[in-house]
Structure 1
Amino acid sequence: MIRTIAPHRRVAAAIGGACLAMLALPLLLANRVRRSAGAPRRILVLEPWGIGDLVLATGALRALRARYADAHIAVLAKSYARALVVSSEMADEVIAYDFPWTAFRHKYRPSRYKVFELWSLVRSLRRARYDLVLNARADVRNNVLGALAGGGRFVSLTCGLGDFFATDVVKVGGESHRSDDWRAVVERVLGTAPTAGTPRLTVSDTLREEMVAALGLERRVGQLVIGVHPGARIAVRRWPLERFAAVADSLSECLDVRLVVFAEPDGYGADIPLRSPFVVVQRSLAHMAAAFSACDLVICNDSGPMHIANALGVPVAALFGPTKLEWFGPRGGPSRVVRIEQVECRPCFDVCSFPEPHCMTRLSEQQVLEAVYELLAERGLLPSGTAALPASARMLPIARH
């Protein structure tokens, strides 16, 4: 997928890619890879970026597992991938590495680039002798990594000059969704559109039951468990905490609900100013996913956890601001997206030009409540006779547009 990015980011990416290319070229010239015959036995999937990116790649992983049941599938990603794709049995191995250019801050600080670590990683990838390497991100650094891995076949999304490093180049439309990018790459390998292309995660019954017991989420007949995840790793994607609290309190007043608040690792969200009783989840990614699976619905910002909940099949009411829905919208289960439709500066790539992110602060409590009630009604979870949006909810203050 070809994106329009800021000039300084293009320059930085080009410099980083050029450095990697200088490292890659001698290896490629000395030992140019050969295609493997027959079905691949060892597959490497490149997804070293964010949680949401990884979740949106799960449809591709499921399709690969369905076709190549006996193959060894490895994912090059951040360490949290172990809690998601291995536990869901989509991959056999996660090769954990935190590439400096995938960070949100200080990504081009020279001290973060540990050349000997990178070289050691490349050597281990080449020793693994992968038959097939896959990449669905239009980033030259991913292309260089794929070439350095030394696989028998490297299928990659088109990336301009980076296409040189791939054996197979896949072209998609500029407005395609991340999960569709992965679908296109896998389709090139399989020769047909994958049937299991939707993002999907699973959690074990044991872990789910453990979280239900730990949080005291055993419910009465007719009671709903509503999750609230007010965080996002990037601050401009966060709707104000007091707005989340107003929505959750309104739901508590109108319905029989148990509220579960999901706090960030740094504690953000735990101090949400709720009047209603609630429990806080601030545990590992695997435990968070298990707690999500116990919810009837999750209200959240555009974030990696939003994609996790959605891929678990949990209905999500997702608040979108600076991100393009067409690229990164929820694709796993039932969802409603709340956003301001006309925002000239979208996408801003999370660098807001204003004192506050108006694309988020202009979202009203009513919009979110309407999305929640629509989802509950769609799932048949509203008590008989409950209005689509109760009068008490309609009386909440409206954010100025």
Structure 2
Amino acid sequence: MILVLRALGVGDLVTAVPALRALRTAYPGRELALAAPAWLAPLVDLVGGVDRLVDTTGLDRPLRVGSAPAVAVNLHGRGPQSHRLLAASRPGRLLAFANPEAGCAHGPRWAADEHEVDRWCRLLSWYDIPADRTDLGLRRPGSTGLPTGATVLHPGSKIPAKRWPAERFAALARALTDRGHRVLLTGSADERALAARVADAAGLASDSVLAGRTDLGALAALVAHARLVVSGDTGVAHLATGYGTASVVLFGPVPPAHWGPPPDRPRHRVLWAGDGDWPRWDGVGSHPTMTALRLDEVLAAVSEVERVVRVSGAVAA
């Protein structure tokens, strides 16, 4: 068995897709078990290549994997806690970043200033397992009964600092509706009130609010067949990258060089105001790098990606 630890969220799983596929290719005859939260199961199925999902939330409980894995791979972090959790499963071999504190002297050095996709590809490359950083595509789900060709706005984030102000999302929804877009608002159950507030301010009907009404598989299908996605730096943005759905991603305070869509993909635009000299921030609400992003900038970025889609469609035709 090959045991891979990635006990995180949607964006974390999607950015690890090239590494997971590299491991599948490197060990074709072995069971590939992924230690990740069980609620990610619909998305794991869309990644492909994973034989078993080991329900793992956080790093404070032993991994329930049965027999000792032949190889354990830490795609979770740099340790020491994640290293020790995998080591406790008694693998024949541990592939991980060097961390002497965890008793792991081998492996490449961790680099803080690195894109998340490149980080895990580099780790595997150090162990002579080649990984293609561009291999981010996800399998398209079948019909779910949700609308196709809609524009998905995702105003929420687990981290409030990464949220663009709700009133600007409402203004964006109004402007896009005026342009002929069918706007739908997504989010978790905890973000349903936020999405409803945006919809109300934008003059959208209540059935435009899908926050808390879709499971992960349905959300992936919605994004896969969407016209456009506009969101902050969150899991929905990574789904748009995986499906090649036109997107505008609003970044702050984390730079897009670490988590943004690949720069060689013209259907995606990133907006970030992180080059400024920002005043002291008290940590409440949206970070200044988010509030600095203007509505007209977002609308201009939407126009750019839609122009690219029209041109690429004409070329393909």
Interval of TM-score (by shorter of Structure 1 and Structure 2): 0.7 to 0.9
Q: How many residues align?
A: 304
Q: Which moves more between the two structures, 267-276 or 291-300?
A: 267-276
Match for residue 196 of structure 2?
Answer: 270
How do 1:310-349 residues align onto structure 2 when only pairs under 5 Å count? 310-331=241-262, 334-344=267-277
Match for residue 364 of structure 1?
Answer: 294
Q: Is the 8 A contact 1:335 1:375 kept in 2?
A: yes
The whole-number CA distance in structure 1 between the counterparts of 2:304 and 2:153 is 17
Q: Is the 8 A contact 1:317 1:335 kept in 2?
A: yes
Match for residue 145 of structure 2?
Answer: 211
Shift of 1:269: 1.1
Q: What CA deviation, in whole Å up to 9, does each residue of 1:362-384 have, x standing for no partner?
A: 21001111111111111117999
Q: What CA deviation, in whole Å up to 9, does each residue of 1:64-110 have, x standing for no partner?
A: 2233333211111122221211343231111112226xxxxxxxxxx
The residue type equivalent to 2:239 in the other structure is: I
- Structure 1: where are the runs of 5+ without partners? 1-41, 101-112, 218-223, 385-401
Q: TM-score, normalised by structure 2?
A: 0.85
Match for residue 170 of structure 1?
Answer: 108
The whole-number CA distance in structure 2 between the counterparts of 1:253 and 1:171 is 51
Match for residue 244 of structure 1?
Answer: 169
The whole-number CA distance in structure 1 between the counterparts of 2:277 and 2:256 is 14
Structure 1 vs Structure 2 CA RMSD: 2.8
Shift of 1:50: 2.9
1:225 aligns with 2:150: yes
Match for residue 181 of structure 1?
Answer: 119
2:135 pairs, out of 166, 191, 198, with 198
The whole-number CA distance in structure 2 between the counterparts of 1:94 and 1:295 is 28
Runs of 4+ residues over 6 Å off in structure 1: 381-384
1:258 aligns with 2:182: yes
The whole-number CA distance in structure 1 between the counterparts of 2:313 and 2:95 is 50
How do 1:1-400 residues align onto structure 2 when only pairs under 5 Å count? 42-99=1-58, 118=61, 121-122=62-63, 124-125=64-65, 127-136=66-75, 137-162=77-102, 164-165=103-104, 168-189=106-127, 191=128, 193-195=130-132, 197-205=134-142, 209-212=143-146, 215=147, 217=148, 225-254=150-179, 256-266=180-190, 267=192, 268-272=194-198, 273-276=201-204, 279-281=208-210, 282-331=213-262, 334-344=267-277, 352-353=282-283, 357-380=287-310
Structure having the higher Rg: 1
Shift of 1:202: 2.0
The whole-number CA distance in structure 2 between the counterparts of 1:183 and 1:51 is 18
Q: 1:240–1:196: structure 2 CA closer, same or farther, 3 Å change rule?
A: closer
The whole-number CA distance in structure 1 between the counterparts of 2:112 and 2:73 is 19
Q: TM-score, normalised by structure 1?
A: 0.69
Percent identical pairs in the alignment equals 25
Shift of 1:188: 3.0
